[in-house]
Amino acid sequence: MPRARVNGVELFYEVTGEGDPLVLVHGSWADHHTWRLVVPRLAESYRVVVYDRRGHSRSERPPGPGTRTQDEDDLAALIETLDLAPAHVAGSSFGGSTALGLAARRPDLFRTLAAHEPPLLGLVEGDQEAEAARLRLDAVFADIRAGDRAAAARRFVEEVVSGPGEWERVPEPIRETFVANAPTFLDEQSDPSWAMVDLPRLAATYTGPVLLTLGGEGMPWFPGITAKLAKALRRARVVTLEGAGHVPHLTHPDAYVDTLTGFLRATTAAAGGGPG
């Protein structure tokens, strides 16, 4: 069971396949298993690295609330420890926020960057849909504080990021992981900067290719965030995954892989590299 001691914590990770490195960064509540349906196909062309972020599942859970900056530093240290730089990095939800935040500070670690629906609510401050999402998040926090992790996980999936009935579409092992990792979600949301990214710095510092994906059936506050990011990042490509929502790697894995690998191959070919 491979582990790496990075940035003061021990992180669990797995490496599958050969080729250019592709690091997958999971979102809140989840762990490396959230990528299980897409890793086999991705590993046909890439050396795929998945890991559990600090506080999640098999990685170390340090006491006290963490910050997204710590997650960014963990990702940087993992890339450097495993000698992956520059790597393709793809993040989902909070994992996308983590990747974007790190790209603003350490663009040298990235070959390309992909993010699916990063919940950067601070970019759309005052938006009616975004404010409604914040209120629903408060209800999730209340459930966790009351000790009802299962209700919190269901509320998060169905009221914050996806929609009614979506909780039942999540595979049972993933639902169990969500419930187990609920306290870490509350911890990371205690960071006052969790919903922000330094957009001017990101635009000035990271000049590489970016893929921003949206679920066609996603919540209405994600398009505004994606639009702000796309406007700032001059090499951004925006793709809507029709029929999908907040976790296309679980609900529409083939469409997610096709979109991601198409982007990676196109950018690699444009740079004069090989097929990977």
- Residue 273's pLDDT is 58
What 3-state DSSP class applies to 105? Answer: helix
- Residue 275's pLDDT is 47
254 pLDDT exceeds 60? yes
* Structural contact between residues 49 and 24, judged by C-beta atoms closer than 8 angstroms: yes
Q: Which has more pLDDT, 132 or 95?
A: 95
* Cα separation values, 247 from 29, 65, 170, 213, 222, Å: 12, 25, 9, 11, 13
- Domain borders along the chain are 3-270
By C-alpha distance, which of 105, 116, 72 is closest to 226?
116
Amino acid at 85: A
276 pLDDT exceeds 60? no
Sheet of 9-16, strand order: 3-6, 9-16, 46-51, 20-25, 87-92, 110-116, 210-215, 236-241
82-91, 134-143, 189-198, 213-222: range with highest mean pLDDT: 82-91
Query: What percentage of the chain reaches a pLDDT higher than 70?
Result: 98
> What average pLDDT does the segment 199-224 reach?
94
Model confidence pLDDT, tens digit, residues 108-117 = 999 999 999 9
| The domain made up of 3-270 is a member of CATH 3.40.50.1820 | yes
For 56, phi then psi, to 5°, come to: -115, 125
For 113-138, b/e burial (b = at least 16 CB within 10 A) is bbbbbbbbbbbbeeeeebeebeeebe
What average pLDDT does the chain have? 93
Model confidence pLDDT, tens digit, residues 40-54 = 999 999 999 999 999
